[in-house]
Structures are given as structure tokens and as C-alpha cells.
Amino acid sequence: MLKEVRRAILCVAVVTVRCFIGQAPRPPIGPSRPPSRASQPLAVSWHGWHHVHRTVWQRLSSAWPWQKPKPEPYFLQPLHDFYHAVTMQLHLLWKATGLGPWLMLFWTALSPYPPFSWLQWLVLKVWHLPLLYRSYIMFLFVDNVWKWLLPSFHSEVVVGAWLALLYRFNPKAYVQRVVNRLVSMLNKQAKLLSPKGVKAPLPQELLETLCTRLRNDAQLLQVLGHHRTLRVWPKLRRQTLGSLSFSSPREAWLLKTIVDGYYREVEAEVKEATLVAAAQQAAAKMRALHEAMDSARLASKDGGLSQGTGGLMTEVDVASAQAADAIIALGQAKVEAQEATARVGKALGKTWQAKMDELMDAHKAVPDVVAELRRLDPKDKDQKDPKGPGKKPK
């Protein structure tokens, strides 16, 4: 009972204390020394005169409405307003759906366990960084997500804005930037054309020739920096150019120009590298077949061969099938290489013969090497073969 009485007295005292205690006096404005009595009438008269003139000025301003000139809007003000509008709508949606407490409860239950704990640690580390570093990391994250979700729109906006600035203020940097983008796209096309397990890097001489050709083509340089070209650029990097087709005349002209002037050279180079890889694969399979045949021939001298799994004849069967497949793939690769080189005005046989003549002339002082190289010389085969194209059979 006594405690309740004390609580009631305390509540009444707190409520009624403002009735007995006035407001604290405000600190004087100006010097800490209190004004003298002689200056008090002057101060009172000055305040009165100032009040009268202020009232007159207010009356005049009401009769002649004068306003300060509005400052010019900040050039990023539309983005600022858009950001605030979006955040406001998201905040209202967050409050209307009521998902906040549930998501927080869900995250609280998952955050102690990896990988959620690692993600929380990373987010907190980034959030406590200085503003400059935090803004840069967030920009990189948003840029990569944007590029992944909307690659065409990202290329048109971000890359287009950068190329427009370079074209306006630094034309040499613009040309170099466009050339680098085309070289990157051609390297990507080389990877798309290469079969699995075959590496076909483009030679530096070929890249220099293509870059020089592009630098001398002012029209193509301007078209490659256009926003419509940038819109379809991710599609040009994802698929081979030979399988694409566009309905727009501008895009169709761009595709035809790149294919005829640059893509065919890359395709011929890749097909030649594929032919080399197929020849090496066929040679390896033929060596395996020869080894299996030698083992079977040696084992057949002492008795019968095992027909079960792991027998020598099984190895011969597998090796012969693999060698046949490799020879068929080699023939197909040779046909494709010949067609690709013919499109760019090259002859694979003439290139082969020119290289053979160069090697024969370089090693003519060593007869053993020359004799081994003659195995690849088609002229020597025609002379030895009576049924060859060089001689008719008797």
C-alpha cells in the first residue's frame, strides 16, 4: 500500500512540476557581459524601430511579391528523383506485403551455417568499408549482374556511352577500342569453331592484317560503334557468324561485311588447325593398331589366341575401329579445310607443296633427311607410281 502511495505522489509531482517551474531563461546573444542600464532604453527603442520597419517591409513584399530566382536543377536530378521514387515504392511494397519479419526470421535461422554465414560476413565487411570502396564494389556487382541478365541493353547503354565519348573527344582511342572489340569477337569465334579438345589460337600475323584492314575501313568503324550494332553484339559473340541471319538491312549488311572480310579468314585458320589435330589423332590411332597387330602376330606363333575380354584380338578389334573412325574424321576435316581455304582464295595443296619445296631446299645437304621428306612429296609419288597422273600404264 505504501509503495502504491509513493508511486501516485511521484506521478502527480512529475505532471504538475511544469506548473510551478518556469522556462529556463535563454542565454543572451552577444557578449557574455550583461548590458548596462544606460543602454537598455536604446536597445528597446532599436528593437521597436526594427519591428516597425520589418512590418513595413513585409507589407511591401506582400503588395509586390518578389521571390528569389530558383537555382538551376542539378544535371543528375532526374536520376536522383527516379532513385527516390523507386526506393519509396519498394519500401511501401515491403510494408504492405509484410515479408520483412518473415525474411529476417528465415535469415536468422540460416545465417549461422555456411555458406550463408560466409555471405553474411562478406556483406558486413563490404558494408563497413569506406564510402568510396563500398560504392565501387557495389557498382561492379550491379554492372556484372546487369551484363548477365540484360547483355544487349548493357552493351547498348554502357559501352555505347563510352564509345560516344571517345568518338567525340578522342577519335584515335575510339578506333583502337573498336579494333580491340573486333579482335576479341574473332577470338571468340575461333573458340566456337574449334572442335572439343582442339586449340586453334589465331596467328599474330593474321590478327595484324585484319586490324589494318579494319583501320582503313572508316564506314565499318563508324557502324561498329552504333547503338544498333551494340544491341546485337552479344549475339555475335555467342553464336558462329555463319549460322546467323538478320532481317534488318543494316544488320544484314554488317553481318555480310564481317563474314566476308574477317570471319572467313578465321574459319580457314581454324579448319587448318582442325585438320592438323585430326591428322595427329589418326597417326596415333594407326600406331596403336600397328602395335596391337604386332602383339597378335607374335602371340600367334606359339598357339591360339584368347577370344575373351582382354585378349589380343579384342585389342585389335578396338584399335581397328578407332583407327577407322580417325581416318574418316581426317578425310572430313581435309574436305572442310579445302573448302574454307578456297573461300578466301587460298589453295591448300599449293601451300603444302610450297612448304615441301622449302624444306627440301633447306635440308638438301643431308641426304637422309631429304629421303625421309620425299615420302610426303606428291611429285615423287607420281614418278614412282606407274599408274599415277604423271605416267600412263603400259
pLDDT in tens, 24-42: 555 555 555 555 555 455 4
Whether the per-residue pLDDT at 388 is higher than 50: the answer is no
Whether the per-residue pLDDT at 128 is higher than 70: the answer is yes
Q: What is the tens place of the pLDDT at every residue in 267-310?
A: 988 998 888 889 889 999 999 888 888 887 777 765 555 544 45
In whole numbers, what is the pLDDT of the chain averaged over residues? 78
Contacting residues for 247 by C-beta, under 8 A, at least 6 apart: none
Whether the per-residue pLDDT at 69 is higher than 60: the answer is no
Contacting residues for 248 by C-beta, under 8 A, at least 6 apart: 228
Q: For the whole model, what pTM was predicted?
A: 0.62
Note the pLDDT of residue 312. 74
Whether the per-residue pLDDT at 385 is higher than 60: the answer is no
Distance CA 337, CA 212 (A): 25
Distance CA 145, CA 154 (A): 10
Radius of gyration, CA atoms only, the chain: 43
Looking at per-residue pLDDT, the higher value among 360 and 193 belongs to 193
Whether the per-residue pLDDT at 248 is higher than 70: the answer is yes
Of 256-260, 296-300, 378-382, the poorest mean pLDDT is in 378-382
Q: How many CB atoms lie within 10 A of CB 171?
A: 11
User: If DSSP states are collapsed to H, E and C, what string results for the chain?
Assistant: CHHHHHHHHHHHHHHHHHHHCCCCCCCCCCCCCCCCCCHHHHHHHHHHHHHHHHHHHHHHHHHCCCCCCCCCCCCCHHHHHHHHHHHHHHHHHHHHHCHHHHHHHHHHHHCCCCCHHHHHHHHHHHHCCCHHHHHHHHHHHHHHHHHHHCHHHHHHHHHHHHHHHHHHHCHHHHHHHHHHHHHHHHHHHHHHHCCCCCCCCCCHHHHHHHHHHHHCCHHHHHHHCCHHHHHHHHHHHHCCHHHCCCCCHHHHHHHHHHHHHHHHHHHHHHHHHHHHHHHHHHHHHHHHHHHHHHHHHHHCCCCCCCCCCCCHHHHHHHHHHHHHHHHHHHHHHHHHHHHHHHHCCCCHHHHHHHHHHHHHHHCCCCHHHHHHHHHHCHHHHHHHCCCCCCCCCC
Whether the per-residue pLDDT at 365 is higher than 70: the answer is yes
Which set of grid coordinates corresponds to residue 374? 620425299
What region, left, alpha or beta, does residue 310 occupy, with left being phi > 0 and alpha being psi -120 to 50 degrees? Answer: left
Note the pLDDT of residue 253. 92
Looking at per-residue pLDDT, the higher value among 23 and 205 belongs to 205
Q: What is the tens place of the pLDDT at every residue in 181-223?
A: 999 999 999 999 888 888 888 889 999 999 999 999 999 999 9
